[in-house]
Amino acid sequence: GLPWELGVAEAHQTLLLNDLRSRITVEADGKLLTGRDVAIACLLGAEEFGFATGPLVALGCAMMRVCNLDTCPFGVATQNPKLRAKFEGKPEYVVNFMRFIAEELREIMAQLGFRTIDEMVGRSDMLRVNKAIKFWKSTGIDLSAILYRPQLDSTVVTHHTVSQDHKLEDTLDYKVLIPLSEPALHEDRKVSLSLEIHNTDRAAGTQLGSAITRAHGEKGLPADSIDVHFRGSAGQSFGAFIPSGLTLRLEGDANDYVGKGLSGGKIVVRKDREANFRSEENTIIGNVALYGATSGTAYISGIAGERFCVRNSGATAVVEGVGDHGCEYMTGGRAIVLGPTGRNFAAGMSGGIAYVYDANGDFSQRCNQEMVELLPLSDADEIEFVRSQISEHVKNTQSTYAEHILTNFDDLIGRFVKVLPYDYAKFNEKLAEVKADGYEGDEAVLMAFELATGKAEAPIKVVEEKPVAKKTSTAKKAPAAKKPAAKKTAAKKTSSSTSKKGGKING
């Protein structure tokens, strides 16, 4: 990327020239490590400052640059409990670091004659170019555009003064949904609503979902406790972040980000009852649906836009077609696509499973197979899962297209393609192995992950035989030889060598 100095200066100058600076907060970040860095950012036009590298180093990061490998030796960026135990950072270390930043900035402000940050914002006239540097690469650099100060009227404000009013009290959730859902929120009674919706109603259901979480915690409410039927065209982020117990049904169409961050709720979208077109041939929701969803279900009777289920990590979705980049970066959950897909399907997909109905037999040409393999749908449990989800889809959307597939499901199984990430398949294989060896819960998951990524040796389960009780006898026996003692020593050595390999020994 380009240096932040260029972006901060240009953004600040452009906002000033359009008299919009009072409405905007400009933040600078990108390797800010000292109070001097903060002072320069402020003089160029920033009033908020982001830090990442500095606080990480203060917490113990040694810049090993293996954050993505789960092998951080200082326990900063890892999920491995053994490595996390090595983390020695404390909040006080970051506080101390920031105090030093603030102190250095205060000293610079005192030297320049500024009492507050607001006075200092955009005062690029306080900066000077160091012309003493004679290095040949710097001779052709002109920094005048960065240090330029527009000529302004005295009425133009040079820093942020006007807070944005999001008018949350005017939203559909605040005015209608939350008041009408009070019986479900506080009296354990089911609520069913029918409402109109317009494309100006953004993030419908999100505030209601927040109210559910505040009242009932992470577990939410029982399924379908609040069932809302909308009719119309929904704005962006319809059903974003909704938790368990909230069901949103939309008869019409929706814009981008349907079900963003879905957290246990249910979303149903189908065409309007008066529409005379075929749902499986028309787009009904926008791009980036179910972005970052963690749980819940979605049934979409129609085609979704691009990047459907991007970064899905736990939700189950049924849709009748998707645009380009479907299931991109997916790490968990299930997606059933009953129609055509766009290009680059499953790019970066490392987890979860997609089932695609390949009616034309050309899906392999549209799928990015760098990280996934394409398999036939043959497992009995998976076949039943797909059948049951299509049945739920038909039940919720009344889709005649999906009903046709369901009616002829046994004949059409051969046209379904299972999209399975290589890493996910390997992990599941190792998980089954370690569970068979006696590992359970988080311990099993961690061991399977380490085995799948090549960070551990295969576990060895050693079971020692119980000693056989001696029979009492009146007859005298000769003294026992010392040979068994040698065997016992050998057994100890075997156990010791096994434990060094990381195996689990049950005695």
How do residues 262-287 score in pLDDT, each as one tens digit? Answer: 999 999 999 999 999 999 999 999 99
Does residue 503 register a pLDDT over 60? no
Contacts of 307 (CB under 8 A, 6+ apart): 287, 288, 289, 291, 323, 324, 325, 326, 328
From first CA to last CA, the distance across the chain in angstroms is 58
Does residue 481 register a pLDDT over 70? no
Contacts of 278 (CB under 8 A, 6+ apart): 401
Q: How far apart are CA 416 and CA 335, in angstroms?
A: 12
Q: How far apart are CA 115 and CA 98, in angstroms?
A: 19
Residue with tokens 């009408």: 180
Does residue 464 register a pLDDT over 70? no
Backbone phi, psi, residue 231, to 5°:
-135, 125
Long-range contacts of residues 248-253, Cβ cutoff 8 Å, at least 24 apart: 248/204, 248/205, 249/396, 250/197, 252/197, 253/284, 253/285, 253/302
Residue 69 pLDDT: 85
Does residue 459 register a pLDDT over 80? no
Does residue 186 register a pLDDT over 80? yes
Give 286-323 pLDDT, tens digit per residue: 999 999 999 999 999 999 999 999 999 999 999 999 99
Residue with tokens 């990480």: 56
Does residue 498 register a pLDDT over 50? no
Mean pLDDT, the chain, integer: 90
Residue 301 pLDDT: 98
Q: How confident is the model at residue 458 (pLDDT cuts 50, 70, 90)?
A: low
Q: How far apart are CA 134 and CA 114, in angstroms?
A: 32
Q: How far apart are CA 308 and CA 347, in angstroms?
A: 12
Q: How confident is the model at residue 466 (pLDDT cuts 50, 70, 90)?
A: low
User: For the chain, where do the domains classified as CATH 2.160.20.60 start and end?
Assistant: 181-425
Q: Nearest 5 degrees, angle CA 427-CA 344-CA 237?
A: 90
Percent of the chain with pLDDT over 70: 89
Contacts of 393 (CB under 8 A, 6+ apart): 299, 301, 318, 336, 338, 399, 402
Backbone phi, psi, residue 484, to 5°:
-60, -30
| Cα dihedral 364/368/372/374 (nearest 10) | 0
Domain 181-425 has CATH 1.10.645.10: no
Backbone phi, psi, residue 203, to 5°:
55, 40
Instruction: Give this prediction's pTM.
Output: 0.79
Q: Which residue has better confidence, 478 or 420?
A: 420
Cβ atoms 303, 324 nearer than 8 A: no
Q: Which residue has better confidence, 279 or 449?
A: 279
Q: How far apart are CA 184 and CA 245, in angstroms?
A: 9
Residue 468 pLDDT: 54
- Beta strand segments in 277-434, E: 295-300, 313-319, 331-337, 351-357, 372-376, 416-421
Long-range contacts of residues 10-19, Cβ cutoff 8 Å, at least 24 apart: 10/145, 11/45, 12/44, 12/45, 12/46, 12/121, 12/122, 13/45, 13/148, 13/149, 13/150, 16/122, 16/150, 16/152, 16/156, 16/158, 17/150, 19/156
* Mean pLDDT of all residues in 381-404: 98
Indicate the angle between helix axes 400-407 and 380-397, nearest 10 degrees.
150
Residue 504 pLDDT: 41
Contacts of 74 (CB under 8 A, 6+ apart): 60, 61, 62, 64, 83, 86, 87, 88
Indicate the angle between helix axes 441-452 and 422-436, nearest 10 degrees.
130
Q: How far apart are CA 239 and CA 383, in angstroms?
A: 29
Q: Which of 267, 271, 321, 270 is nearest to 290 (CA)?
A: 267
Q: How far apart are CA 316 and CA 311, in angstroms?
A: 13
Q: Which of 244, 227, 219 is nearest to 189 (CA)?
A: 227
Q: How far apart are CA 180 and CA 173, in angstroms?
A: 10
The three-state secondary structure class of 419 is strand
Cβ atoms 382, 284 nearer than 8 A: no
Cβ atoms 329, 344 nearer than 8 A: no
